[in-house]
Structure 1
Amino acid sequence: MSLYQFNICQKACILIFFLGFRVLYSQEEIFEPNHNFTENQIVYLYGDNVKLRTAPNTQSEVIDLLKIGTQITILEKTDQSQKYNGLDSPWYKIKYKSTTGYILGGLIAIHKTSFNNSTYLIAVKVQGERFYLQTRLLENSKTYIENETEFFNTHFSIKSYDNKGLESIKNMLLIEYMPIDPFANNGGFIYLIQVQS
Structure 2
Amino acid sequence: MKTFTQKTLYFFLFICATQLYAQEIDYIDVYQEFKVDKIYPLFGDNVNLRSAPNTSSKEITRLRIGFDVTIVSKTNVMFESGESKIPWYEVQYKGQKGFIPGKFIAHKKVKTNTHSFYFNKKITKKHGDQLVIRTVVGDEYSNYKESFMQLYGSLVSAHLEDNHDLMNVSKILKIQHHGESCGAENGITYFFLKENNDLVHITHLSVSGDIGFFSSETFTFTTNENNGQPIIIFKKEEGADVDDEGLWTESKTMIRQFEWNGTKLVPEFSKEFYKREKTN
The ranges of structure 1 where at least 4 consecutive aligned residues each deviate by more than 6 angstroms after the TM superposition are: none
What's the Cα RMSD here? 2.6
Structure 1 residues 70 and 96: alpha-carbon distance in aligned structure 2, compared to 1, 3 A threshold = same
| Alignment CA distance shift 1:187-1:77 (3 Å) | same
Question: 1:1-34, CA deviations, whole angstroms, 9 ceiling, x for partnerless residues?
Answer: xxxxxxxxxxxxxxxxxxxxx9543342444543
Is the 8 Å Cα contact of residues 155 and 179 (structure 2) preserved in structure 1?
no
Question: Could you say which residue in structure 1 is the equivalent of 2:187?
Answer: 188
Q: What does residue 76 of structure 1 align with?
A: 73
Q: Provide the rounded CA distance (Å) in 2 between the counterparts of 1:90 and 1:34.
A: 13
TM-score (norm 1): 0.76
CA distance in 2, matches of 1:86, 1:29: 29
Q: 1:80, 1:98 → 2: CA distance?
A: 23
Contact 1:37–1:74 under 8 Å retained in 2: yes
How far apart, in 2, do the equivalents of 1:60 and 1:123 lie?
25
> 1:173 — aligned with what?
173
Distance 1:135 1:106, change over 3 A: same
1:95 equivalent to 2:92? Answer yes
Distance 1:95 1:188, change over 3 A: same
- Cα distance between partner residues in 2 of 1:63 and 1:32: 29
The aligned amino acid for 1:52 is L
Cα deviation, residue 165, structure 1: 6.8
In the TM superposition, residue 173 of structure 1 has moved relative to its aligned partner by 2.9
Q: Does the alignment pair 1:66 with 2:88?
A: no
SS of equivalent to 1:38: coil
Which residue of the partner structure matches residue 36 of structure 1? 33
Tell me what 1:148 maps to.
Answer: 148
Cα offset, 1:46, TM superposition: 0.8
Q: Deviations over 1:68-124 (max 9, x none)?
A: 111111111122223336443121111111211001011111110101221000111
* Structure of larger gyration radius: 2
- The amino acid of 1:148's aligned partner reads F
Correspondent of 1:133 among 131, 134, 145: 131
Cα separation, 2, equivalents of 1:85 and 1:158: 27
Checking the alignment, whether the CA contact within 8 Å between 2:110 and 2:158 is kept in structure 1 is no
1:6 matched residue in structure 2 = none
Which structure has more relative contact order (CA 8 Å, sep 6+)? It is 1
For residues 120 and 112 of structure 1, what CA distance do their matches in structure 2 show?
Answer: 6
Q: Are residues 66 and 100 of structure 1, via their aligned partners in 2, closer, same or farther at CA, if it must alter by over 3 Å? A: same
The change in CA–CA distance for 1:154 and 1:62 in structure 2 (over 3 A counts) is: farther
Q: Cα gap change, 1:191/1:152 in structure 2, threshold over 3 Å: closer, same or farther?
A: same
Structure 2 counterpart SS, 1:160: strand
Alignment CA distance shift 1:44-1:32 (3 Å): closer
* Aligned residues of 1:86 and 1:125 also touching (Cα < 8 A): no
SS at 2:97 equivalent: strand
Q: 1:49 offset after TM fit, Å?
A: 0.9
* Matched letter for residue 104 of structure 2: L
